């Protein structure tokens, strides 16, 4: 539970832990979603799938199915669309580019690292994110 609490704090505000290895059924088959959260600010479920290796099209298809199942079976009236996040040790840019990830507002793949970045790397990442946010704000105003 300590690790889950730390993970929640890294995700940001509004996250509530729902389940770990949650079973969800489709017909006569059962599937397990690694982590399920509900975000009270976004008013939506957030499904997280953890992958040790490189991102594959099967991983993306699996998460797409989980999101669709959650939309159909668990989403309540007033909830916003379910978000699916795939955390993988290697993001395959070509697979991401030619899959449903490309234009999806509900599915995301992100690479994680098993070591702490340097202070310079953190500053560069924060600056990159700030620029993306600023560009998005400008586009939304237009």
Q: Are residues 75 and 124 both part of a single domain?
A: no
3-class state of residue 109 by DSSP: strand
Of 129, 66, 75, 77, nearest to 100 by C-alpha is 66
> Would you mind telling me the total number of residues written for the chain in this entry?
142
Q: Are residues 24 and 62 both part of a single domain?
A: yes
Judge whether residue 108 has pLDDT over 60. Answer: no
Q: Are residues 25 and 68 both part of a single domain?
A: yes
Q: Are residues 122 and 106 both part of a single domain?
A: no
Question: What pLDDT, on a 0 to 100 scale, did the predictor assign at position 57?
Answer: 79
The top-scoring range by mean pLDDT among 53-57, 95-99, 113-117 is 53-57
Q: Are residues 74 and 98 both part of a single domain?
A: yes
Q: Are residues 89 and 123 both part of a single domain?
A: no
Q: Are residues 28 and 92 both part of a single domain?
A: yes
Domain limits at 121? 117-142
How many whole angstroms from its chain centre is CA 63?
9
H or E element: which one contains 72? helix 57-73
* List of residues 6+ apart from 41 with CB closer than 8 A: 13, 14
Question: What pLDDT, on a 0 to 100 scale, did the predictor assign at position 15?
Answer: 82
A 10 A CB-CB count for 135 gives 10
Q: Are residues 19 and 65 both part of a single domain?
A: yes
Judge whether residue 64 has pLDDT over 80. Answer: yes
Q: Are residues 102 and 40 both part of a single domain?
A: yes
* pTM score: 0.65
Which tokens sit at 27? 């017909």
Over residues 15-57, the pLDDT tens digits come to 888 888 899 988 888 999 998 999 888 888 989 888 877 777 7
CA angle (17, 45, 51) in 5-degree steps:
75
The arithmetic mean of pLDDT across residues 127-140, rounded, is 79
User: Which pLDDT band, with edges at 50, 70 and 90, does 97 fall under?
Assistant: low
Q: Are residues 74 and 105 both part of a single domain?
A: yes
Q: Are residues 10 and 32 both part of a single domain?
A: yes
Total count of domains within the chain: 2
Q: Are residues 30 and 75 both part of a single domain?
A: yes
* List of residues 6+ apart from 81 with CB closer than 8 A: 44, 71, 75, 105, 106
Question: What pLDDT, on a 0 to 100 scale, did the predictor assign at position 9?
Answer: 60
A 10 A CB-CB count for 100 gives 15
Residue 17: CATH number of its domain: 3.40.1350.10
Judge whether residue 139 has pLDDT over 70. Answer: yes
């Amino acid at each position: 539970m300590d690790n889950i609490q730390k993970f929640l704090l890294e995700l940001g505000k509004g996250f509530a832990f729902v389940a770990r290895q949650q079973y969800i059924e489709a017909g006569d088959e059962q599937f397990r979603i690694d982590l399920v959260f509900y975000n009270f600010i976004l008013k939506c479920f957030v499904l997280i799938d953890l992958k040790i290796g490189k991102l594959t099209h099967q991983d993306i298809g699996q998460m797409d199915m989980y999101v669709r199942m959650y939309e159909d079976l668990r989403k309540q009236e007033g909830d916003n669309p379910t978000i699916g996040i795939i955390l993988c040790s290697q993001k395959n840019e070509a697979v991401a580019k030619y899959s449903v990830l490309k234009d999806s507002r509900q599915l995301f793949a992100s690479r994680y690292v098993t070591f702490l970045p340097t202070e310079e790397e953190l500053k560069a990442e924060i600056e990159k994110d700030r620029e993306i946010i600023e560009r998005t704000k400008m586009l939304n105003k237009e």
